[in-house]
């Protein structure tokens, strides 16, 4: 496993992190035994960065991570595992509407209470990184939630502060980076969604902001394992994400990438991760991992040789501006 600076911060993060959404829920059946084994294996392979959220099974993902960290400590492991979690806004529109008030969606009493819950679920007294789970550019001129988080940081309850981009308007966090409000940004950047290369990634580098790349596989599609016949369980959010003609359109595009990878030596999942890591602003990429085989396959990508520039540039042609898919067509 190779390690990179986390922006201007002292911590060196593993190139491959552990995306812990699916182990919390919303991805169909998931046995905790598989999740625990997967996380242990990833950490054994040198992964030192785990991304989770309050919303991943209402604390289930965080509790599993807390359990693994306690088991490893009890086994006498001396390691520094960095856990990033997220606080969602109070109930309401997701992403927040332009008319929502930051003081109502992220009020101070709520942020304090939610932080206490995160600490309890993870079984710790200080969070390494707390990210606001979504944002709107409507709040950029007066980002009061981050003023409150900086206070909580001074009180010693949080190490670093971050934001996860709203899918439909990822560039909305650029002003937060320039204003020094965030230590890290979590962004969708993959072979289909290349827009962050226009500005966001460069600004992160200029400002020393850590970059966590999520959804590098486009929710599994860029592993190349889906066909037009793939069916998702009713309790797997992908039954909506890939509904209608979305799956078939995605498969056609994925096959074009597979064609470009012939004779390169890379499998599709390897190329999907290596391409992301080719951008120097990226600190860590956090593929979702559900079992030991995925932990091994994904962690192993870090030690493969860097993707040749020629191939990185060739794969840029797969950029796909398809807008925001989560909320339906
Ligand atoms: N708004 C936000 O802040 C936000 C939103 C989304 C994600 N995230 C974070 O980013 C992480 C990554 O995104 P994601 O999990 O949504 O999607 P992803 O990384 O694009 O896809 C992950 C899924 O691909 C499959 N997979 C993983 N490795 C594989 C391999 N080597 N070969 C074949 N299949 C493989 C697994 O699902 P199957 O085995 O079921 O196919 C896995 O759950 C999340 O876990 C979460 O921590 C944050």
Instruction: Give 275-308 pLDDT, tens digit per residue.
Output: 999 999 999 999 999 999 999 999 999 999 999 9
pLDDT for 325 equals 61
**pLDDT tens, position by position, 103-131:** 999 999 999 999 999 999 999 999 999 99
Q: Which residues line ligand 1 (CB under 6 A)?
A: 19-22, 27, 51, 133, 164, 186, 214-220, 223, 225, 269, 286-290, 294, 297-298
Beta strands in 229-322 (DSSP E): 284-285
Q: Whose CA is nearest to atom 24 of ligand 1?
A: 220
pLDDT for 159 equals 98
pLDDT for 116 equals 98
Residue 151 alpha carbon to ligand 1 centre in Å: 32
What residues form DSSP beta bridges with 186?
164, 212
Q: Which atom of ligand 1 is nearest to the CA of 53?
A: 47
3-318 belongs to CATH 3.20.20.100: yes
**pLDDT tens, position by position, 216-241:** 999 999 999 999 999 999 999 999 99
Q: Whose CA is nearest to atom 26 of ligand 1?
A: 220
Residue 242 alpha carbon to ligand 1 centre in Å: 14
Report whether 314 contacts 266 (CB < 8 A): no
pLDDT for 322 equals 80
pLDDT for 227 equals 98
Residue 211 alpha carbon to ligand 1 centre in Å: 17
259: how many CB neighbours lie within 10 A of its CB? 8
pLDDT for 22 equals 98
> Three-class SS string for 156-206?
CCEEEEEEECCHHHHHHHHHHHHCCCCCEEEEECCCCCCHHHHCHHHHHHH
Report whether 294 contacts 287 (CB < 8 A): yes
Q: Whose CA is nearest to atom 2 of ligand 1?
A: 164
For the chain, residues with pLDDT lower than 70 are: 323-329
Q: Whose CA is nearest to atom 10 of ligand 1?
A: 214
Q: Quick one: which of 159, 163, 266 has its CA closest to 209?
A: 163
0.95 surpassed by pTM: yes
What residues form DSSP beta bridges with 187?
213
State whether residue 56 is helix, strand or coil: coil
User: Dihedral angle at the C-alpha atoms of 68, 69, 70, 76, nearest 10 degrees?
Assistant: 110
CB half-sphere exposure, 233, CA atoms < 13 A: 8
């Amino acid at each position: 496993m190779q390690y990179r600076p986390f922006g201007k911060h002292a911590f060196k993060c593993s190139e491959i992190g552990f995306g812990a959404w699916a182990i919390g829920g919303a991805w169909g059946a998931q046995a905790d035994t598989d999740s625990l084994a997967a996380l242990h294996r990833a950490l054994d392979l040198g992964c030192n960065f785990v991304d989770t959220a309050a919303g991943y099974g209402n604390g289930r993902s965080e509790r599993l991570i807390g359990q693994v960290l306690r088991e490893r400590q009890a086994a006498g492991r001396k390691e520094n595992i960095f856990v990033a979690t997220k606080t969602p806004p109070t109930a309401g529109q997701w992403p927040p509407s332009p008319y929502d008030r930051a003081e109502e969606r992220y009020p101070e009493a709520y942020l304090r209470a939610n932080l206490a819950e995160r600490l309890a679920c993870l079984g710790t007294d200080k969070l390494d990184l707390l990210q606001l789970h979504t944002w709107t550019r409507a709040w950029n001129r007066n980002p009061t939630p981050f003023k409150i988080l900086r206070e909580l940081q001074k009180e010693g309850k949080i190490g670093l502060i971050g934001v996860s981009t709203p899918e439909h308007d990822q560039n909305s966090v650029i002003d937060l980076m320039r204003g020094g409000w965030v230590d890290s940004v979590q962004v969708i950047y993959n072979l289909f969604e290349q827009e962050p290369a226009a500005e966001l990634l460069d600004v992160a580098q200029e400002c020393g902001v850590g970059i966590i790349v999520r959804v590098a596989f486009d929710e599994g599609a860029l592993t190349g394992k889906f066909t037009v016949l793939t069916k998702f369980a009713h309790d797997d959010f992908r039954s909506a994400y890939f509904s209608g003609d979305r799956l078939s359109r995605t498969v056609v595009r994925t096959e074009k990438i597979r064609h470009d990878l012939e004779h390169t030596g890379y499998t599709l999942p390897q190329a999907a991760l290596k391409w992301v890591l080719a951008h120097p602003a990226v600190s860590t990429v956090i593929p979702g991992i559900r079992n030991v085989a995925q932990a091994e396959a994904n962690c192993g990508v870090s030690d493969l040789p860097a993707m040749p520039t020629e191939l990185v540039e060739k794969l840029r042609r797969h950029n796909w501006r398809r807008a925001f898919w989560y909320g339906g067509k």
